[in-house]
Amino acid sequence: MTDTLAASTRIAPELVELRRRLHRIPELGLHLPDTQAVVLEALSGIDVEVSTGESLSSVVAVLRGRAPVAGERPVVLLRGDMDALPVTEEVDVDYVSQRPGLMHACGHDLHVAGLVGAARILDELRDELVGDVVLMFQPGEEGPGGAEPMIAEGLLEAAGRRVDAAYAVHVYAADHPCGVWFGRPGTLMAAADEVHVVVRGSGGHGAAPERTKDPVPVACEIVLAYQTAVTRQFSVWDPVVLTVGKVAAGTKDNIIPDVAHVEATLRTFSKEHRAKAHEVVAQVADHVAQAHGLTAEVTISRGYPVTVNDVDEFAFARGVVTDLFGSQRWADMVNPEAGSEDMSFVLDEVPGCYLNISACVHADPAVADDNHSARAAFDDSVVPDVAAALAEMALRRSRQLAGR
Ligand SMILES: [Zn+2]
């Protein structure tokens, strides 16, 4: 057994208890004072340099290794997100959420406990740690996004040198049998943006459309032109999903309105197609409107970027997991997911890897309720494994970076 696994086994009961304590007190968004207090308390016995966020209730802890380093000290970042969801829990456990309407339905309570566990393991193995580890406890993953403000507040320089590599793990309530790790190199998750089009014409009587500039047929034409643009302008091997979920105009059958609204979600799987899709949605709306003598104003609210696993970092992280737990506990993901994740902001800045592990409580993962469901249940026996894997990644990667 590796040192990290032996250490995680020893602290397993405390990590599970910590997870259950967090599970009872879910909080939403960027401000998680109760969760932050629990994290600070859990770290209080460890020699780490702690700083808390200014614009959000994040916690950044720097743990410094004691192994001698010849050159520059490597810096590895480990991340755990802390926020919950607006869901009323229906899971029958004695540590059920004490806050109606709020639930850790995406398992971020396991992430926090796993990251605290990694800190405790690294503290114990500090003499073997070459360089420094930045522990990133992040609010707001489920929105509006905590990673970006943490980066703005200096996250990547927290150790005094820029982070060299970054890792994160997410738990899943379904998909695979409990304890199976899964991931893929390259694109892992989509970028998700919102498109809002306002078609401006000038309204009037429904009986005399020639005396108006009717935005309704123009909005309809834009919706159809979008679908054509997706299939004609983008390679099928780098997919683009553009779904118009809302069209709104008018008040009554015989009144032509002044404006019509079109709202769409745009999912892309590469930086290139994301940038191109932003141009295309604006151009198509503008030109269709112009063709009829109207105007279209396009606003894009940028969501999270594409989440990309660096190919080498993925191979490294997968190697750590299969060394620790055996290749029977690994599954390759064939396709990326169309969801999105704000660890993407960190992975845009530094190479790294984001892996998943199943914490499914059912013998048959196909019938289990998925993350975000009121019935999503997570087996916290995986928390010590998450802790061991993160600690092992930090130990090994910093040794590699230091050239040993
Ligand atoms: Zn999540």
Structure confidence at residue 132 (pLDDT)? 98
Please give the Cα distance from 56 to 49 (Å, whole number).
18
Structure confidence at residue 2 (pLDDT)? 81
What pTM did the predictor assign? 0.92
Longest dimension (CA), the chain: 84
Please give the Cα distance from 118 to 387 (Å, whole number).
4
* Strand partners for 126: none
Residue with tokens 């159809």: 224
Alpha carbon separation from 152 to 54, 169, 248, 305, 345 (Å, rounded)? 11, 22, 37, 16, 11
Q: Per this entry, what is the length of the chain? A: 404
Q: What number of CA atoms fall less than 13 Å from residue 64's CA on the CB side?
A: 12
SS3 for 193? strand
CB-neighbour burial class of residue 394 (10 A; exposed 0-12, middle 13-18, buried 19+):
buried
What's at 235, amino acid-wise?
S
Distance 320 CA to ligand 1 centre (A): 22
Question: And the tokens for 180?
Answer: 């199976």
Structure confidence at residue 70 (pLDDT)? 87
Distance 327 CA to ligand 1 centre (A): 25
Cβ neighbours of residue 83 closer than 8 Å, sequence gap 6 or more: 27, 28, 29, 32, 35, 108, 139, 140, 141, 142, 146
Alpha carbon separation from 311 to 161, 184, 188, 315, 334 (Å, rounded)? 24, 9, 11, 6, 15
Distance 107 CA to ligand 1 centre (A): 6
Query: Any idea what DSSP says for residue 102?
Result: -
Q: What is the chain's percent helix, strand, coil content, to nearest 5?
A: 40, 25, 35
Please give the Cα distance from 348 to 339 (Å, whole number).
17
Q: Are 78 and 390 within 8 A, CB to CB? A: yes
Closest CA to 396 of 310, 313, 326, 331: 313
Distance 170 CA to ligand 1 centre (A): 7
Neighbours of 205 (CB within 10 A): 11
Structure confidence at residue 397 (pLDDT)? 98
Please give the Cα distance from 113 to 90 (Å, whole number).
22
CA 100 to chain centre: 24
Q: What is the sign of the dihedral through the CA atoms of 162, 109, 397 and 340?
A: negative
**What one-character-per-residue DSSP string does 65-89 give?**
--B--SSSPPEEEEEEE---BS---
Cβ neighbours of residue 20 closer than 8 Å, sequence gap 6 or more: 95, 380
Distance 36 CA to ligand 1 centre (A): 18
Q: What is the pLDDT along the chain (404 residues), one digit of tens a residue?
A: 789 999 999 999 999 999 999 999 999 999 999 999 999 999 999 999 999 999 999 999 999 999 999 889 999 999 999 999 999 999 999 999 999 999 999 999 999 999 999 999 999 999 999 999 999 999 999 999 999 999 999 999 999 999 999 999 999 999 899 999 999 999 999 999 999 999 999 999 999 999 999 999 999 999 999 999 999 999 999 999 999 999 999 999 999 999 999 999 999 999 999 999 999 999 999 999 999 999 999 999 999 999 999 999 999 999 999 999 999 999 999 999 989 999 999 999 999 999 999 999 999 999 999 999 999 999 999 999 999 999 999 999 999 999 86
Question: And the tokens for 375?
Answer: 């019935």
Structure confidence at residue 404 (pLDDT)? 61
Distance 354 CA to ligand 1 centre (A): 12
**What one-character-per-residue DSSP string does 310-376 give?**
-HHHHHHHHHHHHHHH-GGGEEE-SS-BS---THHHHHHHS-EEEEEEE-B-SSSGGGSPPTTSTT-
Question: And the tokens for 354?
Answer: 């984001």
- β-pairing verdict for 186-189 and 204-205: unpaired
Instruction: Answer left, alpha or beta for residue 60, where phi above 0 means left and psi between -120 and 50 means alpha.
Output: beta
Distance 68 CA to ligand 1 centre (A): 37
Distance 3 CA to ligand 1 centre (A): 29
- β-pairing verdict for 352-358 and 165-172: parallel
Summarised one tens digit per residue, pLDDT across range 228-280 is: 999 999 999 999 999 999 999 999 999 999 999 999 999 999 999 999 999 99
Structure confidence at residue 71 (pLDDT)? 87
Distance 173 CA to ligand 1 centre (A): 11
Distance 207 CA to ligand 1 centre (A): 52
Distance 142 CA to ligand 1 centre (A): 7
Distance 243 CA to ligand 1 centre (A): 23
Summarised one tens digit per residue, pLDDT across range 309-332 is: 999 999 999 999 999 999 999 999
